[in-house]
Structure 1
Amino acid sequence: MRIAIISDIHANFPALEQTLKSIEQQNIDAVYCLGDLVGYNLCPNAVINEIRKRHIPTLAGNHDVKAVQIHNEGSNDSESYAYQIVGKEQIKYLSALPAHIKLEFQTTDKLIKILMVHGSPYSNTEYLLEDKKENDFTAIFLDSNADIIICGHSHKPYHRVLENPNKKGGYFHAINAGSVGKPKDGNPKCCYAVLTMDKSSNLSKKEGVQVEFIRVDYDIEKTAMAIEESPLPNVYALMLRKAY
């Protein structure tokens, strides 16, 4: 089973298009999205419509929640433009997105529990960064009853293996899928993660879970120039070019 995980598209439809083309070439069995479909760019409705058309299970990111709040409460300031352009049908979709996705995968000798979140199991605004203190990180796994936690939100991809303090020789796996539409790791190419699970997947080995990060090129300059020609702040274009 090869699972593609995308996250943080942020209304960047050209980036999503090329990412989905890449996924189609990777012999993928399932695709999941960790949220933040909107914000920072000009094509939130196209992004949402494509995700819906493909029936991709999707979480509510903090920017998705913000878009719903702005539409419910009203806002006319320029900083809200990226959310004001989200359509009513798309807002209805965003308002119904869940906070978590849980999967269970049966290996030869164990049931592996996978928890997908946008930020953390507790909040879509909390960051699970790669350098988080190990004790604090493992406490989240124990509290969530998860073996693998897959998150987004920081826009910085990583795969970190942590020792399970309750099981000698056992490991937890923390995975950040990176960002499709607005990377922040200095590489402006789209990023998504591929998790490979099979009957031999083994949590008693550090290498027992296979994770690959795939980078995808798209016309970054054209997308950045479109932002500069719009009411959005020009700094959003620079963020795309420089990936910060």
Structure 2
Amino acid sequence: MRYAILGDIHSNLAALEAVLDVVDAEGIEAIVQVGDVVGYGAAPAEVIEVLRARQALVVKGNHDAACVGELDSRLFNADARAGVRYTTKQLGRTDLRWLADLPMTAHQEHFSLSHGTLDRPERFDYIQNTADADPSLDVMDRPVCFVGHTHVPVTIMRLLDAPNRTSYTIERTVDLSESTVALVNVGSVGQPRDEDPRAAYAIYDTETTRVEMRRVEYDIEREAARIIGAGLPKILADRLFLGF
């Protein structure tokens, strides 16, 4: 079975639609999302509506948690706090309940999902290097866990021929049959931070055990105009063009 794995969307409707157009054209069977559905962007209700209509499997990100009062937004910078305030005003009771009900982690037969770390998902810690990844790799009972949070695509793994050493790769296609366990950060649909402004996502094939990192262009002008029109900080629009 093939899954589309979507990273941080951050209320970016144009980016989400562009990704789903490609996913649909390829006949991908299922969609999962690793958190931060909302925040920063100007279309939170529309993005939630799309994910609910698709019956996507979604876990909770730190921005999702902040928008339903489960995380203190004072921990965020000023621009992120503005996104939280905007989002909470835009969403109705049903959408806020949907966000609140999102699990911290999810487990399917072939993979797990978490926004930050798998070992302590409620802390929303970042996995930025192999040492950060080790506690999550230690508790994994599936061959792969998909994560987000840093907005930077990378695969961190323990290889079959070196199971006691944690390594990483930024290769576009990764054969997971060569690893004992792997953490795959699929990047960000709606706010990439690896200096590539195209929407990022991944395709996971459970039969071939391969993960392919993908990028797709989207109408950044349209989404930036939506952000500015909503009265959100201009930097949230500007950074979409930079991918940083």
TM-score normalized by the length of structure 2: 0.82
2:183 aligned with 1:180:
no
Take 2:139 and 2:130, find their aligned partners in 1: how far apart are those partners?
16
> What secondary structure is seen at the aligned counterpart in 2 of 1:127?
coil
Report the more deviating stretch, 175-184 or 115-124.
115-124
* Matched letter for residue 121 of structure 2: S
Gaps of 5+ in 1: 106-113, 202-208
Q: State the match for 1:123 in structure 2.
A: 121
How many residue pairs match? The answer is: 219
> What secondary structure is seen at the aligned counterpart in 2 of 1:223?
helix
Q: State the match for 1:19 in structure 2.
A: 19
State the 1:146 CA deviation.
3.5
CA contact (8 A) 2:140 2:181 kept: no
2:74 aligned with 1:69:
no
State the 1:224 CA deviation.
1.0
Q: Which has the larger radius of gyration?
A: 1
Take 1:159 and 1:52, find their aligned partners in 2: how far apart are those partners?
28
Q: State the match for 1:108 in structure 2.
A: none
Take 2:240 and 2:180, find their aligned partners in 1: how far apart are those partners?
35
Take 1:86 and 1:216, find their aligned partners in 2: how far apart are those partners?
28
State the 1:22 CA deviation.
0.9
Q: Deviations over 1:153-196 (max 9, x none)?
A: 11111223323339xx8532220111111111111111111111
* Matched letter for residue 56 of structure 2: I
Take 2:230 and 2:214, find their aligned partners in 1: how far apart are those partners?
30
* Matched letter for residue 132 of structure 1: T
Take 1:59 and 1:143, find their aligned partners in 2: how far apart are those partners?
18
Take 2:229 and 2:99, find their aligned partners in 1: how far apart are those partners?
27
More helix by percentage:
2
CA contact (8 A) 2:153 2:185 kept: yes
Which consecutive segments of 4 or more residues in structure 1 shift more than 6 A? none
Aligned CA RMSD, in angstroms, stands at 2.5
CA contact (8 A) 2:65 2:100 kept: yes
Take 2:216 and 2:115, find their aligned partners in 1: how far apart are those partners?
21
> What secondary structure is seen at the aligned counterpart in 2 of 1:236?
helix
Q: Deviations over 1:86-140 (max 9, x none)?
A: 22211011111111111224xxxxxxxx2210111112521122x323xx53442
Gaps of 5+ in 2: 166-177
State the 1:141 CA deviation.
1.8
* Matched letter for residue 185 of structure 2: N
CA contact (8 A) 1:3 1:32 kept: yes
Take 1:120 and 1:184, find their aligned partners in 2: how far apart are those partners?
19
**Structure 2 counterparts to residues 22-41 of structure 1, below 5 A:** 22-41=22-41
**Structure 2 counterparts to residues 223-242 of structure 1, below 5 A:** 223-242=223-242
2:96 alignment partner, one of 68, 91, 97 = 91
Q: State the match for 1:206 in structure 2.
A: none
* Matched letter for residue 85 of structure 1: Q
Identity %: 31
Q: Deviations over 1:39-60 (max 9, x none)?
A: 1111100000111111111111
TM-score normalized by the length of structure 1: 0.82
**Structure 2 counterparts to residues 188-203 of structure 1, below 5 A:** 188-198=197-207
2:145 alignment partner, one of 138, 146, 149 = 149
Take 1:64 and 1:137, find their aligned partners in 2: how far apart are those partners?
23
